[in-house]
Structure 1
Amino acid sequence: MNRKKLLLIGWDAADWKIIGSLLKSGHMPALKSLIDRGVYGNMSTLNPPYSPMLWSTVATGKTPDKHGVLGFVEVMPDMSGVRSVTTNSRKSRAVWNILHNQGFTSNVVGWWPSYPAEPINGVVVSDKFQKVSADPKKQTPIEPSTIHPQNMKDELKDLRMFPFEITKEHILPFFPLANKIDQEKDKGLKSFSKIMASNVSVHNAVTKLLRTTDWDFTAVYYDLIDHFCHSYMKFHPPKLDGITSELFEIYKDAIYGAYRFQDMMLARKLELIDADTTVIVMSDHGFESGYKRILNMPSVQAAPALEHRQFGIFVAAGPGIKKNEKVFGLGLVDIAPTILHHFGLAIGKDMDGKVLSEIYKDRITPTFVDSWDKLKGDFGEIEKEEGSSVLSDSEAMQQLIELGYIDSLDEDKEKAIFKTQSDLKHNLARVYLGQRNFIEAKKILNDLMNEDKLEEKGPVLMDLISLSIKSNEFLDAKRYLEDLKKSKTKVRYNLFFPESDILLGLGQPLKALNILESQKSKRNSGELWFRIGRLHYGLRNYDQSKEAFSRAIEIEPDKAQYHRGLAETLFMLKDYESAVDHSLTSIELVKNFPSAHYILGRSLEKLGDIENARLAFQTAVRIKSDISEKAKRAIENIEDKRNISLKLSNKTTNKFIENQIVIVSGLPRSGTSLMMQMLESGGLDILTDNKREADISNPKGYYEFEPVMSIHKDNSWLATAKSKTVKVVAPLLKYLDPKYRYKVIFMKRDINEVIQSQRKMVGKNIDTVPLKLFNAFHNQLESIDIWKDTEPGVELIYVDYKSLVDSPEEAIKQVENFVGINLDKSQMITRVDKSLYRNKPQQSSVD
């Protein structure tokens, strides 16, 4: 029986945007051979996208808050200084520890971090192996704990390559015009020598082990592409403003050269394995190669990571793997569970990832264990140090400084330690922020804000702004934004996006739009046009929304949310065929995109393709997101064969639905309190707390329920409203949880009457109607009519206030049919008091 061997190859920062063109031109044949006989897809990264954190997630299947690696550097346990991150920071067991415990043999080469080397079955060549000095007089020795087992040191030591060994034969394939480089001023070749030597050392070690050792699992990590990108991406075509033509010509092919060389190294590894070995090639994130490239990095922690893109690459081939098929929904946390599953081992329930079952021809149900970290036994682990016995890694630190991931270390030891601790805390807060664990993130960020010794608080304030926006705390976000503007931060932030989000959250969409519109002449970014499109969509300016989304797609055609936004706009414009096209494009880019599946379903339903519409809605439900509740309601509508005509003002089936929530709504002073009184008398269960007492404006009470006023922050109370009736003012209807069914009785009253009633209530002249207020109410009514048609869980009827007062019997019958419950109509009529109808239409001026 053949052993189920697996080779995991990590290419830091590899990106499909660059790979795609090289595959088409035939310049990455080794990777293409894997794709042709395997699967490929996007690999989603985590926030923040810092490589040591991400590759530790790959190794453990856990997010950084669990595995403990939170940055590029760490504080020594005895607080004696700062060093490059080590294995000591990792709190969770890696796949090779688990495989060791289960009797498998592993080789681990160059993984970041893997020093000190762990004593597993097999060989560990830690990331310290390739970190050498560029100085020919300083041939860095292989320190203890760099390699396990120790007796492999002599076999591997001569495989290291040093920067001073790089010759013109190495350089010219990458830089044919290298002779034009002034090496006194331009350090480009020095960077190349370090990157090349380091990665050749890793490659020499792994190919040696593939040839000469008996192994089940081998993992190797290359930073070649990432370091090339940080050094030379600014010279990549198309030429950026600010890059001279001379430098562009010298370095423009460097990135392509790095990818081609990486593919050559892949080809050699594939020669050294048999056909029964499964191969996975993946990256932890992508890298910006278009207009988002940054020439002048801001002074923030790990600034170069700002050029990391959300999606990396994933390719897998081997026995049992599907062939030449694209797969979706892949994440870094999924790699470790998939490797364990490959070897027939259980998945830790405390792992954050899942088995990538979609890559296999035949799916096998995985097994589970509570936690591999809690099991006792031999897992081939190092003893965590208590002192500073692990030597400081000056070469690794210097490389991080040169790449810009960390600042030059402060000579003041205490200051360096404090900064490192602060950065690690901030990274943890950002991990929590990415997980939407706002409570824990906010605790850490507030602690940092209260730390007097922290000199640069701009990045912390930016995260507090982002957190507040995401949690709908817009007043807090506004306060943090004002604090940031007043601060002495050295970083120049682009504040127009958060400022626009805050204005929108505070109910000022036109001001939010103006903020973004003012930037169009200064920058031409896809994100800017996308946000402009969203605001126009919210304002129902669908033609402008279509134009903005289209502009965004022209700039960045591979953004799924841009196509989804355009699809929604085209739906509102009743161009259902085009809406289907862009929905499908969005899904092609990101398969597990529930809102794209949902708008696809709605568009197909309008085109009469009921069966495929049902499939689209079912997919949205299966993905399990906020949109899935809307999709559930849409499926029910299809199955009930409800024919809801858009020509009708009302939207109703006139039948009772179990656990339905009856909502009474309308503009202020439109008769909602009267309807609540009538429904109570008719026998419906009313949800009210009577905290707002009756007054001269509403002598019979307001029938309000206080939690309604904060529904935009918390709508969980709606669970208590099932089978009850509650009043919700019109602007808050959009915050109803789509998991429930609603019967909305919307009170409709002449807008002039509504305004006059309001002005009388507050003691203003009722003979003058503010034009802005009139238009606002008119737009509100239009938005409600659109809203009801976009929410499959909502039915709505309009009840005219004047008709209700003049002829209550007819209106009551309409309401009874709508809610589907027999009501005490005679008691409902008694609640109608015509004397309270005091603000009838009258001639008024408009200002």
Structure 2
Amino acid sequence: MDKAKFSNYFYSMAVNPKHTIGFLAGGYRNVAQIKGVPVPDLSNSERGEKASSLLVGWDAADWEVIKPLMREGKMPVFTEFNHGSVQANLATLDPPISPMLWSSVATSTWPSAHGIHGFTEINDGTVRAVRGSSLMQPTFWEYLEDNGVPVSTVGWWPSHPAEYSRYGGLRISNLAASEDLKWIADGVSPESHQKILASLILQPEDLNPSIIASFFPNQDINSSDDVVRSVLKITLHAINVHTMATYALDHCKGGHVSVYYDALDHFKHLGMKYMPPRLKGINTQDFDRYKFIIESAYRLHDLFLGKLLEGLHKDGHAIVMSDHGFKNGLDRLAVLPNHAGAPALEHRHYGIFAARGPRVKIEVPPSGMNLLDVAPVVLAMYGLVKPISMQGLVPPGMMEEPDRLIERLTGASPNRHESVEGDSVLLESLVALGYLEEKHLVNKEGRLLENIYYLARSLRAEGRSERAWQILSGLNIDEKSPMRYQQLAASLLAESAQYEELDKLLSGIQEFPEVFIWEYYKSLIQIYRGSTLSIPKGLFETEESHELVLWGKLLSKADRLNDLGKLLAGKTLNIPDTLNLRLKLELAQNRWEDALETALESTALRYHQPNIHGALAVIFKKLNMPSESYSARVLQLKMMGIQGSEAPLFIVSGPPRSGTSMAMQLLAAAGVGLVTDNIRQKDKFNARGYFEHNKVKDWDLDENWLSLQRGKALKIVEPLLLSAPLPRGLKVIVCMRRSLGSLLQSQRSMSGRESAPLGWDEQQLWLDYQEKTEVQISMDPHAILIELNFEDIIHAVETNELSQSLQAAFKALSKHTPKTVDISVLKAVVEPQLRRF
């Protein structure tokens, strides 16, 4: 906005009763009165049907601010809305960059799939603001229209140029409400609405200073105050978006309407630091002058919501949501670091979600929702089953079960040619807001640096660290790179077990602000090179969640559960990753009731965690709650989806000297290939060999390598199996069992300690390992546990008779092996005379 337009216009007009924020929140007809634009009354035939569903997006809305305002009666519309709705926290995705997030909401896919990777994109060698036409996945709006539901959208970021609606919906892009009017031609569809909407766009000179009086109660409105100017600019744009939204609701052909307001996010980046209580670093004068900005911003959106709901059918569905929250209280930042994307540091992980309507069940609040779940919920409001491409879920029990399959897409919307004029102004605005850094916008190869960084972060959040590193490494990270690039690079190299590359990166960086994170990376390298894990001084006192997560996972992998307990002791664990670490401790200690509470708390924060629902299935069973156990297992299977028909991964386990080498030979005789490296040679204790592969002992053993061994058998002895990253899909786990006296005697014989007395806890140690193994395997619905008893096998070979348990085990095993496992196969591989103690 041109500063010159603000000079003295506050004082150049008489105060008009219509120049109030409440009047303008009343919609496009009220704005038309101020603008002097004739807007004819619509006849019954001209007036569109009321919307059957409404989705309202408030960028950065947060329950921590909303709930106190509701209690104080300052958001009456939203309070009434909530009385008949179901509410939930809505987890964001990383990074919390609005165009990426709202595109994930629309498509129910991660950015790696939908193709929006930042605020900008390159088109024909020119940097421009990101476009909705760059989306690479269908949106829920397209699916709705393909199933006969008209769809209107207003302001969605990004949605320019405006798409065409086949059923009479209005499409108004995120750029169409700009005050410079350059985007109307490509930003409004159908074209017949462009002229009237352009005439309704408010300009700064159209408003009286009283419009923002509620933001500065008992204060003079000072036109030279930059904060005042910013409040007016944000408010002006919010009203223009709202004007278009109310117009769309009046003129669309019913169906679904999505409206997005970005104003709350801008208000918060401007004024959250002034909200009570006063932050250290904010002087008293500024605090008193600006402390009502956030409250007034929310009350403005409450007014907007009231008008939007008038356009909703009485039996319609409605959702109010945000893409992320905003740090509140003492977590707020008075000063941001000076780098691109710094404003995102103020965002909080959880936004808001509230939904109501005939198909919404409000009895049980949903838990663990994230942005990917919104589109499936909207489709379910029309009884439509989400397509397989959508990665979100409808929370169980929240909606009536959808029963209509999505019709196939009939094709893309007609191509629209757009002007690129005006992008420079938009980019300057993003730089001014702190989301872009001009000097780091494009590198010499013409790539958008921040977009690469954002995509790598998103891939990491998606669980694809190796691919994220492939993307990020193109930026040639070194000591001159921005610190946030270095930090991400280190985390990706650590997660993808590229320790030599990690060492090279660390050696070139002189200073790192987070000492325990740096010590963590150094520890990984030392362990990789054969050193033992050492714990840095002061680690157990840290309160930082990301440090607890990294070190907690490391201690867990190293089976240092006592140290893990010390790390977590007395800490506030309020994110799923830290709660899951506590859950592992409680499971290992058979503290089933505590484990139940922790697992439920974790899934309430992040619902889509198949492994935790698997843990719940086991916990419920241990607590004698069979129906709940069954429900948890069904839910886990649903989340894991249909497994492929690939060959199973055979794993032979059990304590050392329990007969694991004999089990490997048995599988080989049944036609299963063995994964061995022949490094450990046969000896007098195993005359036929050990059939091992050293990779299973490596610190960097990963799921991908194990998955490549499908169709073959691999030995992973029982202590190592507990920490092995087993892949998804079918696994046949053959566990050898042997009487403890015989087992321990054989272990002593092999180590040359035949006469050494038994330790008081040695037998219990192996019993504990056996129980932990059984619990862990039972959490995975695609893992089949088959136990073979060593003594039963020896007896069968000597007597030519199989025990009942051995018969049952061989029958289960034969379902997956190329050849039937029977007594003849057994006798071909077992020689009792080779038995050693």
Match runs of 1:99-178 below 5 Å: 105-120=150-165, 121-132=168-179, 144-162=185-203, 169-176=210-217
Correspondence for 1:382 among 409, 416, 420: 416
Deviation string for 1:527-565 (max 9, x for gaps)?
4445565566667776765565464436x4xx3444444
**For residue 449 of structure 1, what is the aligned residue in structure 2?**
476
Correspondence for 1:484 among 505, 524, 534: 505
Deviation string for 1:697-756 (max 9, x for gaps)?
7783533244863764422366435xx7x6434553222568434323475358776666
Query: SS where residue 240 of structure 2 aligns?
Result: helix
Bigger Cα displacement from structure 2, 25-34 vs 700-709: 700-709
Separation in 2 of the partners of 1:708 and 1:481? 20
Question: Does 1:620 find its partner at 2:636?
Answer: yes
Deviation string for 1:274-305 (max 9, x for gaps)?
31332222222233335654455445542322
CA shift, 1:71, in A, is 1.4
Deviation string for 1:493-513 (max 9, x for gaps)?
636347537746975899767
Does the C-alpha gap of structure 1 residues 105 and 741 become closer, same or farther in structure 2, counting only changes over 3 Å?
closer
Match runs of 1:406-555 below 5 Å: 406-408=436-438, 418=445, 420-438=447-465, 440-449=467-476, 456=481, 459-470=484-495, 473-474=496-497, 476=498, 478-487=499-508, 494=514, 496-497=516-517, 500=520, 503=523, 514-515=535-536, 518-519=538-539, 524-529=543-548, 545=564, 548-549=567-568, 551-553=570-572
**For residue 345 of structure 2, what is the aligned residue in structure 1?**
306
**For residue 57 of structure 1, what is the aligned residue in structure 2?**
104
Correspondence for 1:278 among 317, 322, 335: 317
CA shift, 1:82, in A, is 2.1
Question: Does 1:784 find its partner at 2:811?
Answer: no
CA shift, 1:266, in A, is 0.6
**For residue 16 of structure 1, what is the aligned residue in structure 2?**
63
Does the C-alpha gap of structure 1 residues 189 and 561 become closer, same or farther in structure 2, counting only changes over 3 Å?
same
Correspondence for 1:715 among 672, 695, 706: 706
Query: SS where residue 732 of structure 2 aligns?
Result: coil
Q: TM-score, normalised by structure 2?
A: 0.74
Correspondence for 1:232 among 253, 261, 271: 271
Bigger Cα displacement from structure 2, 812-821 vs 312-321: 812-821
Does the C-alpha gap of structure 1 residues 189 and 444 become closer, same or farther in structure 2, counting only changes over 3 Å?
same
CA shift, 1:405, in A, is 0.8
**Is the contact between residue 103 and residue 157 of structure 2 (CA under 8 Å) also seen in structure 1?**
yes
Does the C-alpha gap of structure 1 residues 540 and 528 become closer, same or farther in structure 2, counting only changes over 3 Å?
same
Does the C-alpha gap of structure 1 residues 272 and 198 become closer, same or farther in structure 2, counting only changes over 3 Å?
same
**For residue 204 of structure 1, what is the aligned residue in structure 2?**
243
**Is the contact between residue 751 and residue 777 of structure 1 (CA under 8 Å) also seen in structure 2?**
no
**Is the contact between residue 339 and residue 437 of structure 2 (CA under 8 Å) also seen in structure 1?**
no
Letter aligned with residue 69 of structure 1: I
Separation in 2 of the partners of 1:344 and 1:830? 64
**Is the contact between residue 669 and residue 829 of structure 2 (CA under 8 Å) also seen in structure 1?**
yes
Separation in 2 of the partners of 1:286 and 1:485? 33
Does the C-alpha gap of structure 1 residues 720 and 144 become closer, same or farther in structure 2, counting only changes over 3 Å?
closer
Bigger Cα displacement from structure 2, 433-442 vs 746-755: 746-755
Question: Does 1:566 find its partner at 2:582?
Answer: yes
Separation in 1 of the partners of 2:49 and 2:422? 44
Letter aligned with residue 90 of structure 1: L
Does the C-alpha gap of structure 1 residues 704 and 681 become closer, same or farther in structure 2, counting only changes over 3 Å?
closer
CA shift, 1:240, in A, is 4.6
Correspondence for 1:703 among 690, 699, 711: 690
Identity %: 25
Match runs of 1:707-746 below 5 Å: 709=696, 712-713=702-703, 714-716=705-707, 719-721=710-712, 727-734=715-722, 735=724, 739-745=731-737
**For residue 651 of structure 1, what is the aligned residue in structure 2?**
none
Letter aligned with residue 427 of structure 1: Y
Separation in 1 of the partners of 2:764 and 2:558? 9
Separation in 2 of the partners of 1:70 and 1:833? 62
Does the C-alpha gap of structure 1 residues 797 and 787 become closer, same or farther in structure 2, counting only changes over 3 Å?
farther
Question: Does 1:397 find its partner at 2:382?
Answer: no
Letter aligned with residue 322 of structure 1: K
Deviation string for 1:427-464 (max 9, x for gaps)?
344444444445643433333339x9x96365555444
Letter aligned with residue 748 of structure 1: L
Letter aligned with residue 707 of structure 2: S
CA shift, 1:93, in A, is 5.2
Bigger Cα displacement from structure 2, 428-437 vs 269-278: 428-437
Separation in 2 of the partners of 1:106 and 1:683? 59
Separation in 1 of the partners of 2:354 and 2:251? 26
Letter aligned with residue 101 of structure 2: L
Unaligned runs of 5+ in 2: 1-47, 779-783, 811-821
Separation in 2 of the partners of 1:708 and 1:505? 17
**For residue 317 of structure 1, what is the aligned residue in structure 2?**
356
Separation in 2 of the partners of 1:169 and 1:423? 40
**What is the alpha-carbon root mean square deviation over aligned residues?**
5.1
Does the C-alpha gap of structure 1 residues 674 and 687 become closer, same or farther in structure 2, counting only changes over 3 Å?
closer
Q: TM-score, normalised by structure 1?
A: 0.73
Aligned length: 749
Separation in 1 of the partners of 2:805 and 2:192? 86
Separation in 2 of the partners of 1:553 and 1:19? 24
Separation in 1 of the partners of 2:560 and 2:284? 44
Match runs of 1:806-821 below 5 Å: none
Letter aligned with residue 728 of structure 1: I
CA shift, 1:408, in A, is 3.1
Deviation string for 1:110-149 (max 9, x for gaps)?
22223333444443333224434xxxxxx76776434344
Query: SS where residue 703 of structure 1 aligns?
Result: coil
**For residue 650 of structure 1, what is the aligned residue in structure 2?**
none
**Is the contact between residue 442 and residue 464 of structure 1 (CA under 8 Å) also seen in structure 2?**
yes
**Is the contact between residue 164 and residue 193 of structure 1 (CA under 8 Å) also seen in structure 2?**
no
Question: Does 1:832 find its partner at 2:834?
Answer: yes
Does the C-alpha gap of structure 1 residues 367 and 246 become closer, same or farther in structure 2, counting only changes over 3 Å?
same
Match runs of 1:176-255 below 5 Å: 176=217, 187-211=226-250, 214-237=253-276, 240-255=279-294
Query: SS where residue 69 of structure 1 aligns?
Result: coil
Query: SS where residue 128 of structure 2 aligns?
Result: strand
Letter aligned with residue 57 of structure 1: S
Does the C-alpha gap of structure 1 residues 719 and 114 become closer, same or farther in structure 2, counting only changes over 3 Å?
closer
CA shift, 1:391, in A, is 0.2
Query: SS where residue 304 of structure 2 aligns?
Result: helix
Letter aligned with residue 55 of structure 2: L
CA shift, 1:406, in A, is 0.6
Deviation string for 1:322-344 (max 9, x for gaps)?
34642346443454455556567
**For residue 744 of structure 2, what is the aligned residue in structure 1?**
748
Separation in 2 of the partners of 1:448 and 1:335? 34
Query: SS where residue 404 of structure 2 aligns?
Result: coil
Query: SS where residue 535 of structure 2 aligns?
Result: helix
Does the C-alpha gap of structure 1 residues 190 and 593 become closer, same or farther in structure 2, counting only changes over 3 Å?
same
Separation in 1 of the partners of 2:694 and 2:562? 37
**Is the contact between residue 52 and residue 312 of structure 2 (CA under 8 Å) also seen in structure 1?**
no
Separation in 2 of the partners of 1:689 and 1:23? 65
CA shift, 1:397, in A, is 2.2
**For residue 639 of structure 1, what is the aligned residue in structure 2?**
none
Letter aligned with residue 406 of structure 1: L
Correspondence for 1:327 among 362, 366, 390: 366
Match runs of 1:633-712 below 5 Å: 663=652, 665-666=654-655, 687=674, 691-692=678-679, 694=681, 700-706=687-693, 709=696, 712=702
Bigger Cα displacement from structure 2, 166-175 vs 775-784: 775-784
